Structure 1
Amino acid sequence: MRTAIPEATEEVAAAHLGLAEALAGVDERLLHDDPLLQLTAAIERVGMLVDSWRVRLAGEVGARSRRELGDDRLSAKKGCRNGVELLARTTLASERTITQRMRLGAATRARVALTGDTMPARFEQVAEGLRAGSLGYDSALAIVDTLDPIRGRVGDLNVELAETALVAAATGPTLESALPFAADEVRGQARVWENVLDEDGSIPAEERAMAARGISGGLTRDGLVHRKMALLPEVDAKFETLLNAYLSPRSKPTFNDADPDQPKDPRATAQARHDVFASLIDGAARSAAAPTMGGAAPTVLVSVRQADLAAGSGAGFIEGCEAPISLRAVEQFVCAGGQQHVLIDGDGRLVSLSSTDRVFNAQQRRAISLRDGGCIIPGCSIPAAWSEIHHVIAYRDGGETEVCNGVLLCWFHHRTIETSGWRILMIDGVPHVKPPPWLRNGRTDAETPWRRSTKSRTQLADLLERQRERQPVLVE
């Protein structure tokens, strides 16, 4: 005999309290290894049972909130736009999670034919595994999301065949494996079934991908411009390989194996990837192959009031971008790209426009690139073509736009040179660096020597040659 609904709700509430009481005195930090893993597995089994009911109930709420029911749909009766909103308000889960549950619930819910007869669910074996608590939510979702889109092309029987094999692998054991497959393994197996059953599926999928590829326009929020990128696999692979090449520790140049100044990158991986991309964009914009705009190279226009620039406070504004930028960012633009003075009177009339100044020309950039070979901060692998030129003595402090006062810095190290602690000094026209205090291993500033810094292969070859010449010759 089935439990009445009010009684079932009360029993679930009592089970919730019982579980909370059973775990109230448990401190996971005090558990030995085996009890820790045993409790983890036990909690997961409880979670699988709860997940199965989440899916079933979401599927039912979704069915009762179908648009075709009009004002009689459950969501409308409760004053919500749809079933997703209704469940989000009821459960406080995210709409993304609710949408997934509803999709899985619809695929595993018994159907009703036009005659009123009950029909099996589209994925009956997945439904049985969920109800039994033997099939996890993630594995069930992997099976449904992979096989459901190809049903119309391969037929119900082929989908059922793949479903049987995948549910067996996920609940195990099978002849191939003594242990159940984890959710990621199930998803991988489902992809294999997809390729086997739908041999021509990659062609329409590629056509859809070509139509859907793109990079969206940016939306400004919290000082960041958010874009969505949908890259073709081969384009993403090239982009990923390029990023990895410049972020891999194995590819970064070092002076010796025990270099005390070799810094550990303080950035998160996503931040480092952003900064490599920023350097790549800079390099592409300076390329001779880049198209011109009005006869000039692509140029980002940044405006700032002279008073704010002199005071070092306020904000600047990029043409075409809603978000203001800090004076530090403005200074980086000025240092790398130069500035023009525009005089506008109180009535808004343009009075005068100066010529561009404090810009290193193409010949100077080539000379500095040959000397430095890339960003001069030790451990940085950004090449010369992607680097910006930094005035060692700031232009506002009387620094000249000459090769003896310019060094290559990547976008990130240029942006943070005033705050990171790295110091740069030109000695006889040669760049030398001194690391920040946190990289000195307890040495004082006086005990930390200035070190010549270059990534130029010819310069490094000369250094190694001189070191070899200084080595004593042993005569036996």
Structure 2
Amino acid sequence: MNILTTMRERIDALAAWDELDVDAAALPSQAVRLSDASVIDALAEVTALANHAGRLQAVLAGVASQRSRREDGHAGLAAVRGHASPASLIQSITGGTKAEATRQVRVGVSLLECVGAPHPGGGLADDRAPAPPPWHDSLRAALLSGVLTSAQHDAIRGGLGEPAVDDDTRDADAVRDAWTLASRGLIDEASAMPVEELAKRARTMRDLLDPTGAESRFARRYESRSYRRWIDADGQRHARIAYDDEMGLWVDAMLAAALRPRRGGPRFVTADERAAAEKLQDDPRTNDQLAYDLLMDVLRAGSLATAPDVYGARQPGVRVITVDGITGPRDPLGRLLGMGHAEDGGDALPGSVIDRNVCVAGTVRVAVDPHGNPLDVGREQRLFTPRQRLALAARDGGCRWPSCTRPASYCEAHHCDPYSEGGATDIDRGILLCRHHHMALHNQGARITRDGLGEFLIHPPGGGAPSAMPTKAAWKWAWDPPPPPDRRRWRAG
């Protein structure tokens, strides 16, 4: 449908609420009169209208960028208007941030890649045939059709980057096909996760498709690690840390271990752990202050402290999940050409990190069937065992409630079949939920079912159609492809 016609229809739909069809000055006082249902419905209409406007804005920003090419010099559109770059021109018009303007230009340029060469003053040059569709054409189509927002498009395109191709045309076509399949899979997932998580998932997918490149990117980030401190005009000391991937995860795990009770950690703990959690809840310090004091305690205590003295019940650490074990091809330097994932969050970690952690901590094997279901036996007890929770974390990747991004370490194991009614503590009938959604499930009357080893379904209270609860595991490609093409010749060495 014509985009302007669609926008007019959205505006007409909003005009149906008399509380919104007022002067701008009266809008706040009138909008508070809306019912809860009307607030949600009107917000959905406004969001859809904003997304249409965002697509139009991105295309126009792309056109402005095309007409402001470096080779155009001072005759380019941005230069003629007194701006050094297209992003600066867009920012001056929109009044937004530089980052927002840059993203609009980036998305717009991506949308126009298939259109052809621009003609001075507008239109297309007649002697230029349109270029063949690029690997990301599905992203372009999804954005223009309204399946993706501009922010989602940019997250996927930026996260995947450009295909890692070599001079072999046959391999180059295969690699581009893999990137295309990856982009389509991420389009399907986009509506179920925040944009930040979508960008992270796209980066993880890129590293899985290009493990040699992932090793190089990891090395660059490691070389960029730094600690910088300074004193401001008031004498306050500040510091800035740029972490490498592994130590960043380690610090996250350390802070999470200490602050988890404040952030909604599991409730099913021992009496001593519960008392410590209640003490932390009542602590007058802010989370930022608690994190600071923890870091200072760690620096002060150093190797003299015992871990429970500082961290309490759950000690910090980074669990790495790998697929197909720790064997596989290696590059000429002996590094494993494979990728692992941090259990919490799914961050991609290269083969060199896997090798080092295997030496230090060993491995625990969790076998799954072709659909990702752990091959384990149930237990005749109330709580899931630590080994069962490992299997659940490997299968679920975190809280499986739609759109929730809580990692596995913040989750509780829910019995689909109530234990009080004879349900077994079996991983086939268990599912990870964060504390908030576990409580919401029981308090609001929703229920989760599973037919055999099929998909988990959540049924809303009072009936209604159930919704699927797909795994959040970044490594689910191992049992839910599309698989990438043969990678034997991909950037090896």
TM-score by length of 1: 0.47
Bigger relative contact order, structure 1 or 2, given CA contacts below 8 A and separation 6+? 2
Q: Which structure's CA Rg is the greater one? A: 1
TM-score by length of 2: 0.45
